[in-house]
Structure 1
Amino acid sequence: MNDMNDDFGVTMGYTKAWRSREKALLLVRGNPDDSYQNLPMYLHMLKQANPGTVTHLLTDNEDRFKYLYIAFSNSIKGWRYLRPIIVVDGTFLKNAHGGTLFSASTLDPNNNIFVLAFGIADSENDNSWLWFFSKLRDTYGEPEGLAIVSDRHKSIENAIHIVYPNAFHGACMYHLLNNLKSKYGNHGEQLQMNFIAAVKAYTKTECEHYMRSLDRLDRRIRPYLEKAKYETWSRSYSPTKRYTMMTSNITESLNAALKAARNLPIDILVECLRSLVQKWVWNNSNNANGTFTKVSTATENELRHDIVSKMKYELLWVTAKTKQ
């Protein structure tokens, strides 16, 4: 309304402005209903242009869209070099027909987000997650020591127990922390500091030290965390390696990168997913090709930081001894 008034001196009512906007979006993006009919052709061309890409499109008895699964060829090729830990999440779509976008991702050796697969379904329920995990296992298998990290959505838990009976299912510590804050009060920084320290502790003795600090804040916290099971959120009690991935933050970052795309018709949305993954793969590949050490850039920087810190400490120690 303001643009028309400023640019052309035309006063326009809200309803007319809304209809004009909808007409413009229809011309640019096409009909949302037609976008579902374009999917089979798009997926065929996607596999032709990216050999090795896996796609599955499931329709109901009336040939209406039900589920979609995509794993790009570069993701499948790179999985063998990654740590066996997968972070999954679902986020709602805001297009004309709604739905939920599923994602599975992990971190590469340089701590960059590495997308494994996407899925689209009606909502986060037992059937949709079961279908998504089944396709994910068909694509990537179930390596020894596999850990899957997510929020505490019951449908995710149910599907993991069925599809990955030998995998470990870990909880995101920040989702659990937010639950503690909402249930038992904020308690300032003390709750957050002690809980995160308990999560990241490497020994059970150290974890118990911070649990006692939480007991002093609120006696109800420990029973709640015991009910959530220590092994799901604590590094020291975990039956498998979780490395540094104690949260599902990488999926939140992925969802943020796709925020605008979630408004688009489904065929354009899928193209945005492909474009984003291709961009990240290209950038990460260039960075890797420019690395001439045996470790990743992130690891090398951390090692250098540790060496410098050790040298500073030794220098301070020598200086102190000299003064004595």
Structure 2
Amino acid sequence: MHDGVYQPRDDGMNLVLGQEFITKEAAKVHIQTASRQNCFEFDIIKSDTKRFVLKCRGAKEGCQWFVQVAKLKNSDLWTVRSYIKQHTCSVVTDIEAGDEDGTENDATGNEGTGGVLTSPGDIEMHENVTERDEHVFDTEVRPGVVYQSRDDGAKDGCKWFVRVAKLENTDLWTVRSYINQHTCSVVTTRTLPDRRKGTKQIVASVLAQDYPGTFDTPVPKVLIDLVHRRVGVHVSYTSAWRGKRETANETNIGTRTRVVVDEAQKFKYLFFALGASIEGFSAMRKVLIVDGTHLKNVYGGVLLVATAQDPDHHHYPIAFGVADGENDESWIWFMEQLKSVISDVSGLVFLSDRNKSLIKSVRLVFPEAAHGYCIWHLSQNVKSHVHNNKDTCAFKFRECAHAYTEAEFKYLYHAFRRKYPSAVVYLDKSVEEKKWARCYFRGDRYNVDTANSVESFNGVIKEARKYTLLPMFDVIIAKMSEWFNTHRKEAAEIPYTLKLVPILETEMSKRCVAAGFLTVDELHSFHLEYSVHGTDGKVYTVDMARNTCSCEQFDKDKYPCVHGVAAATFMTAAAGRELHLSEFCSKYYLVEQWALAYHRTVYLVLHMSDWVIPEDVRAKKIFPPDFETKKGKPQQTRFPSVGESRGRGKRGRGGARGRGEARGRGRARGGGITSYFECGSGSGSGTT
């Protein structure tokens, strides 16, 4: 800082009088982004439906920086009316004594603001880790999760200061203010007699990191040494025991379950959704893939599954149901239970095969949701209506379905109609184009157009589907716990400089290379409209303010197409700043959003000997459903969906389908009523 008059400096916004913005929010975002990048703060003096006025927060010091943006008459556009771009105040930063780019590390190696911690316990643990390093100092906790030097150091003029606050609408905590330089005596702070001791929260945080989702944790004596090695603080035996107990008491909070029986108290339906998945779905793309798969135990029935797909193309199961079959009643009941955990929000999309009961249930229970059909299943139905080149027919159909623009779709579908007229007749009679053609689909389904996510999950639990219900759900929960832990660590290990999920980061890198060969012309600098000459000889119009392109790939996938990347590169180069493609991607593709989906721990099921069952639940008697004992080996292959060809068995020895073989396709012989309710432990009930 200067002691006298501050030198005038430009705010770096590059605003000009008369510059137009599409909305008021667009103007605010532009100014807020510049304020963060150029280290100044402002106050909103006036804001209404016609104008908003901003002044520098250093106006009391005489700073003249000023912006007035007003709405144009008879228009929805906003324009800059008055603008003074010079600052004469001090530079406002969160790191008062850092280097020029604000990223200088302190003595403990920690970087500046913006780091995310998962809980106040992690904050304490992180703070104690820094204290035990070579540069030791002592801190005092003030209300609002503020850390600053002890009074002895602060009285001597030490300005070291950290402020950590909870992010709005999340359980994460972030560093808001940080002064990383000490001017106090290291010797004085090292020898203070009232050094902080470990608490049960610190013990619980250490256990959560070293033993995620595990109930078999070390004894308190071992925990004392473990915490001291990890965070450098001493914990008493009582604190270690309480921290261990607090971890053991953790359960899958928010989990929703329901069991329905018939008049004879026989099992009918079951619904189950983990609290971690329910909460994490808020950070996911609003696309649900639903399907049913047959259970292979003696009682039969079907497992109904609703799953999402995270932006890095991983399974994200939301809810499960068990019913007697895929009929109207069972699907409607399952959808009603699903609606109790995921409301019929605007923008919700369902994707499934063409099971009539499933389609009916979505229409009745989620009337506001868009419903599309799996392209892969439909392509298998289509190819069964041609006699030659079946696989080529299926491929050409999927090519039509993937078309982004109506013109491209009509061109491809016209060629498909000429080559495969019988397949087109089947499509015209059985399914609407808006249910499978991407260009006609209403709703945002991003790049998800098949039900392969559910089919793949069914393959993961293929062996578990032979178990009785509770052991099967033990396996499902164990697999989900493994996935949550794996992807949580993957998200945490991504460098801070990378903003997008790995699969999209790779795709954007490829598109950046391809975009370098495209020519870009500026059409309207204020509206951020550009003309891009594609390698196919066509000219595409890109609107970077609305994140759209005339190829419509930008619009539907919600991240820049190659033309959008070229326009973004041109725009940022003209503005003299770095290219950040994450600014033009949907929030669901950001690493921080991806991490939020997995921030909860999925705990394994305790052994049945450790269950505490309420008396009213224990008093209920539920009998197994009726079942038919059949001879022979149970069917192992999947049941074809509606419209799929059943195929023909191999002829010759061992391939004939005689009467004896037909009798051998039933389910396995039953093992009695008790086997249906036999409970496996969380770890010993099988693996996938």
- Tell me the TM-score range normalised by the shorter chain: 0.7 to 0.9
Q: Equivalents in 2 of 1:71, 1:105: separation in Å?
A: 11
User: Which residue of the partner structure matches residue 220 of structure 1?
Assistant: 422
The answer to whether the aligner puts 1:164 opposite 2:369 as a matched pair is no
Match of 2:509 in 1: 304
Residue 115 of structure 1: how far off its partner (Å): 0.7
Distance in 2, Cα, partners of 1:130 & 1:53: 21
Q: Give SS of 2:350's match.
A: strand
1:78 equivalenced with 2:280 (yes/no) = yes
1:26 maps to none
Pairing 1:84-95 to 2, within 5 Å after superposition: 84-95=286-297
Q: Is residue 2:263 matched to residue 1:263?
A: no
2:307/2:454 contact within 8 Å kept? yes
Following superposition of structure 1 onto structure 2, how do residues 76-225 of structure 1 map, counting pairs within 5 Å?
76-225=278-427
Where structure 1 has 5 or more consecutive residues not aligned to the other structure, the ranges are 1-46, 315-324
Aligned counterpart, 2:90: none
* Mean Cα deviation higher: 128-137 or 216-225: 216-225
Partner of 1:198: helix, strand, or coil?
A: helix
**Distance in structure 1 (CA, Å) of the matches to 2:393 and 2:327:** 32
- 1:248 match: 451
User: 1:222 and 1:126 mapped to 2: Cα distance?
Assistant: 29
2:440 paired residue number? 237
- 1:92 Cα offset (Å): 0.3
Flag the 1:112–1:49 CA change in 2: closer, same or farther, 3 A. same
Q: Is the 8 A contact 1:169 1:232 kept in 2?
A: yes
1:184 aligned partner, one-letter code: V
Give TM-score scaled by structure 1 length: 0.79
Which of the two has greater helix per residue?
Answer: 1
1:288 to 2:527 alignment: no
- Cα offsets for 1:269-303 (capped at 9, x unmatched): 11111111111111111111112322111111111
1:268, CA displacement in angstroms?
0.4
Query: 8 Å contact 2:383–2:423 — kept in the other structure?
Result: no
Q: What RMSD, in angstroms, separates the aligned Cα atoms of the two structures?
A: 1.8
- Residue by residue over 1:208-267, the C-alpha shift from the partner in whole angstroms, topping out at 9 and shown as x without a partner, is 111112112222332322330001101001011221111100001000000000011111
Question: Could you say which residue in structure 2 is the equivalent of 1:320?
Answer: none
Higher-RCO chain (CA-CA 8 Å, sequence separation at least 6): 1
- Give the superposition deviation at 1:304: 1.3
- Asked if the contact 2:385/2:422 (under 8 Å) is kept, the reply is no
In structure 1, C-alpha distance between the alignment counterparts of 2:489 and 2:387, rounded to whole Å: 47
What is the percentage of aligned positions where both structures have the same residue?
32
How does the TM-score come out when normalised to structure 2?
0.38
Bigger mean CA offset, 105-114 vs 228-237: 105-114
Q: Is the 8 A contact 1:150 1:172 kept in 2?
A: yes
Matched, 1:278 2:457: no
Counterpart for residue 13 of structure 1? none
The structure with the largest alpha-carbon Rg is: 2
CA distance in 1, matches of 2:388, 2:493: 46
Matched residues in 1 for 2:265 and 2:474: separation? Answer: 22
> Aligned pair count?
268
In 2, Cα distance between equivalents of 1:202 and 1:310: 19
